[in-house]
Amino acid sequence: MPLPAISLGMWHNFGAPGSDSGRRDETALHANATAMMQSAFDRGVVHFDLANNYGPPPGSAEERVGRILRQHFGTHRDELVISTKAGYQMFDGPYQDGGSRKYVLDSSAASLRRLGLDHVDIFYHHRPDPTVPIEETMGALDHLVGVGDARYVGLSNYSAEQLSAALEVCEREGFARPVIHQCPYSALDRAFGSGALPVGADAGLGAIVFSPLAQGLLTDKYIDAIPDDSRASTESVFLGTGRITPELQDALRSVRAIAQDRGQSVAQLALSWVLADDRISSALIGASRVGQVEECCDVLVADPLAADERDAITEVFSSAVTSGR
């Protein structure tokens, strides 16, 4: 099943008012979320990616996307790829995270209720659970395909070794085989993907990479300073000011010059870098406004990076990471 080169994720900016979207008015928040999905769809981005815990609070992103699908995409369901996941904590109490059969199946049923769908196109196990036999988790995913709750299954945040183990179990037990895996990967953060991507490619799996802009570091935003309204300024658990070193800013300035020569922004160049890797099926973007969706989608009509351009960008960020340690 081919995916669009750009996919839209709902990790941020689709939750409740006053959460990480910064919008405290429900009407404005919902209108913005709707506009982002419509803009993406109009540009050929037909894959919308969720998880049971996206919001905040957990589940609220699925509820909002379900409303938008019913209100604006009713006749387009067969044109869409809707994915969701289970694996991170939903609520306090037992059986609210992990990889047990109970949690995975209960979470799938709850996600379908929130989304208002009778199936998702891809259901992922969101992260490995060392406390549960991998046979149990993969058996639960197999069940979802068997009963029609998911068309396909995938794995997310599985290391190279964990991915290999899961695939071996599916082969041995005759379970539905994952067709895709998700991993973090960008020109700046390559460590995890450098292990998982070759394993997936050798096994014939598709790959969709998240954080291709390194939580916003690979944009024009932090080249000269840390804006007061940026994620880094809040010392987010995912991005703090400590990552924005002089070495990184120098690297971003060098990359900006390459981007300008190509008529691109830094963010567009970072996406072009990811998509130049033939092991990658799709780059998963997040956005807070329509303009960001449009900027990312413009990559789809840009000239692909030449091998020497990609190598030059890789070298710039390799030096920045080494110098900044």
Which pLDDT belongs to residue 118? 98
The pLDDT score that the predictor gives to residue 241 is 63
Q: Where are the alpha helices (DSSP H) in 59-150?
A: 60-72, 101-115, 134-146
pLDDT of the residue at 267: 96
Domain boundaries, the chain: 6-178
Rounded Cα distance, 49 and 282, in Å: 12
Burial of 215 (0-12, 13-18, 19+ CB in 10 A): buried
In three-state secondary structure terms, 268 is: helix
Cα gap 170→204, rounded to integer Å: 14
Flag residues of the chain having pLDDT under 70.
Answer: 19-23, 225-242, 321-325
**Is 6-178 in CATH node 3.20.20.100?**
yes
Q: For 84, phi and psi rounded to 5 degrees?
A: -145, 175
What 3-state DSSP class applies to 18?
Answer: coil
Q: What is the pLDDT of residue 225?
A: 56
Closest residue by Cα to residue 89 from 103, 71, 109? 103
- State the Cα angle at 277 between 271 and 279, rounded to 5°: 125
Measured CA to CA, the distance from residue 257 to residue 233 in angstroms comes to: 26
Q: Token pair for residue 95? A: 């059986």
What pLDDT score does 222 carry? 82
Has this prediction a pTM greater than 0.85? yes
User: 90 — phi, psi (to 5°)?
Assistant: -95, -60
Could you tell me the two tokens for 166?
A: 């899961």
In eight-state DSSP terms, residue 306 is P
Q: Give the pLDDT of residue 18.
A: 76
Supply the angle between the helices 134-146 and 160-173 in degrees, to the nearest 10: 60
Output phi, psi for 230, to 5 deg.
Answer: -90, 165
Residue 166 near residue 127 (C-beta atoms within 8 A): no
